Structure 1
Amino acid sequence: MITAENLTKRFGAQTAVDGISFTARPGQVTGFLGPNGAGKSTTMRMIMGLDRPTAGTTTVNGRPFAEHADPMRQAGALLDAKAVHPGRTAEAHLRMLAATNGIPRRRIGEVLELTGLESVARRRIGGFSLGMHQRLGIAATMLGDPQVLIFDEPVNGLDPEGVHWVRGFARARAAEGRTVFISSHLMSEMSQTADHIIVLGRGRVLADAPLADFLSAARRDVTRVRVSDPAALASLLADDGVTVTQTPAGALEVQGVPAYRIARVAADGGLDLNELTPVAASLEEAYLALTGDATEYRSDAAAVAA
């Protein structure tokens, strides 16, 4: 388990993390989201004892991480996949970590197999692809078989197969009862991976909720409709404040009128109604709506459109 209580970090006059509190629990993947500059990486560094909080506390399995006598058996963290010596082989890198943390050498083969790196174990890391670097970093996090796993942007730059692998790995570790804490900017990926969402903006917690509750709170009031004559229904619904959009799949998405009213209009018009389904907001839509005022660097929409 990871906890933060009134956690604050200042760099001179700048407050990077501003009194945040949260808990990442065992048995679930917690997605840690926020715009660039929101304080995510600083928070993760404080969890791992790499930055000292200005105020507040953070613990891993009930104690500050630096106070654990067996740190790699408590938590594994991948904060920078490239932070390894390029001249070492993958096996030598893991052997060094195991030796300095009292971990049996047999564990090296186990984590290489777990991450699919057995065939490149004796290759120098400098020749690794980005995906291989990420897998090696994940192998290192698992050396001590810890109950807490922390990943900062683990799928950035990976191909679809690599993204799929990381997602499956995270879900499998959570299913084993571990705490999995992942920072990412890829909303579509987090929607398939996370059970719980924590969103930071300008160093403060903007949301802390189960994924389903977070999405439910961001309702779009949009209804997907399939009807015998979409054009006729669109014409019947035409009114101020009602938006009707045709989807590529042939359905209509209607916004600005309740579902019961759509059904009544279709019936009065003699149209066969085949589907009437509320459309939930995507994680990306919910995230952008929440963080719109907390984005440090924002593009000019008009300039982008031009």
Structure 2
Amino acid sequence: MITAENLTKRFGSHTAVDNVSFVARPGQVTGFLGPNGAGKSTTMRMIMGLDRPTSGSTTVNGKPFASHRDPMTQAGALLDAKAAHPGRRAVDHLRLLAATNGLPAKRVADVLDLTGLTDVANRRIGGFSLGMHQRLGIAATMLGDPQVLIFDEPVNGLDPEGVHWVRGFARARAAEGRTVFISSHLMSEMAQTADHIIVLGKGRVLADAPLNQFLRAAENPNVRVRVSDATVLGSLLAADGVTITQTAADSLEVAGLPSHLIARAAALEGLELHELTPLSASLEEAYLALTDEATEYRSAV
């Protein structure tokens, strides 16, 4: 489990993380989302004891990470996939980490096999692709067989096969009862991976909820309607505050009116309804709506 309580980090006059509190629980993947500059990476560094909070605290499995006598058996973190000497062989990189942390040497073979790197174990890291770097970083996180896994943008730059592999890896580790904490900018991927969502904006928590609850809260009020006479139904529904868009000869998209009132109007007129579908927001739509005012860096249109 990961906890953050009133976590704040200032760099001079800039507040990167502002009174952040949350819990990431075992048995689920927690997606940690937010625009660039929101404070995600700084928060992860504080969890791992790499940055000292200005105030507040974090714990991993009930204690500050640096207080654990055997830290790699408590948590593994991939914060920078390129943080390995390019001239070293992959197997030697992992052997060094195992030896310096008092971990059994046999774990090296285990994690190489787990991440699909056994066949390239003797290659030098400098010749690795980005996907292989990510797998090696994930192998390092698993050396101590920890109950907490922290990944900062683990799918950046990966091809579809690599993205699919990371998703399956995260889901499998959560199914084993581990705490999996992942930051990402890929909303479509988080929608398939995360059970719980935490969203930061300008250093503050904007949302902290199960994925399905987060999406329901951002539900699009529009309703898609297919009916025997879309023109007639559209004229019946026209009213102040109601927006009607005819999307096909037999289809409407209606905003500002609940489904049951649309159905009642069609029934009273004797129209045949073929579809009546409330349109739910995607994770990307919900995220963009929530973070619109919290985005510090915008591209010109």
Task: State the TM-score, normalizing by the size of structure 2.
Answer: 0.94
d(CA) in 1 for partners of 2:71, 2:262: 59
Alignment-derived partner of residue 123 in structure 2: 123
Compared CA separation, residues 92 and 255, structure 1 to 2 (3 A) = same
1:198 aligns with 2:182: no
Closer/same/farther in 2, CA of residues 42 and 235 from structure 1, 3 Å limit:
same
User: What code does the residue aligned with 2:133 have?
Assistant: H
Aligned to 1:285: 285
Q: Which residue of 2 aligns with 1:271?
A: 271
SS of equivalent to 1:174? helix
Matched residue, 1:214: 214
- Looking at structure 2, the residues matched to 163 and 245 of structure 1 have their Cα atoms a distance apart, in angstroms, of 37
Shift of 1:113: 1.1
**Residues 55-94 of structure 1 aligned to structure 2 (within 5 Å):** 55-94=55-94
RMSD between superposed Cα atoms in Å? 1.8
String of CA shifts for 1:183-221, please: whole Å, max 9, x gaps. Answer: 111111111111111111111111111111111111221
> 1:134 corresponds to which residue?
134
Inter-partner Cα distance in structure 2 for 1:202 and 1:45: 17
Unaligned runs of 5+ in 1: none
Q: Distance in 1 between matches of 2:240 and 2:186?
A: 36
1:1-306 matches, cutoff 5 A: 1-230=1-230, 233-234=233-234, 236-245=236-245, 252-300=252-300, 304=301
Q: Which amino acid aligns with 1:100?
A: T
Cα deviation, 1:239-287, whole Å, max 9, x if unaligned, reads: 5543345669x86432121212221233344432122222221111111
Distance 1:282 1:102, change over 3 A: same
Aligned partner letter, 1:19: N
Which structure 2 segments of 5+ residues have no match? none
Separation in 2, partners of 1:165, 1:247:
38
The CA distance in 2 between the partners of 1:153 and 1:216, in whole Å, is 26
Write the letter of the residue equivalent to 1:214. Answer: F
- 1:29 partner amino acid: V
The structure-2 alpha-carbon separation of the partners of 1:154 and 1:268, relative to structure 1 and needing over 3 Å to count, comes to same
Cα distance change of structure 1 residues 252 and 132 upon mapping to structure 2, 3 Å threshold: farther
Counterpart residue identity of residue 71, structure 1: P
Aligned length: 300
Percent identity over the alignment?
A: 80
CA distance in 2, matches of 1:171, 1:231: 47
* Amino acid across the alignment from 1:129: S
Separation in 1, partners of 2:218, 2:225:
20
Kindly state the Cα deviation for residue 230 of structure 1 after the two structures are TM-superposed.
4.4
- 4+ aligned runs moved over 6 Å, structure 1: none
Q: Which moved more, 1:266-275 or 1:176-185?
A: 266-275
Alignment deviations for residues 49-97 of structure 1 (CA, whole Å, 9 cap, x no partner): 1001111111101111111111110000000101111111111111111
**Aligned-partner Cα distance in 1 for 2:285–2:16:** 25
Residue aligned with 1:224, SS:
strand
Q: Choose 270-279 or 58-67, whichever is displaced more.
A: 270-279
Q: Which amino acid aligns with 1:33?
A: L
How far apart in 1 are the matches of 2:122 and 2:36?
36
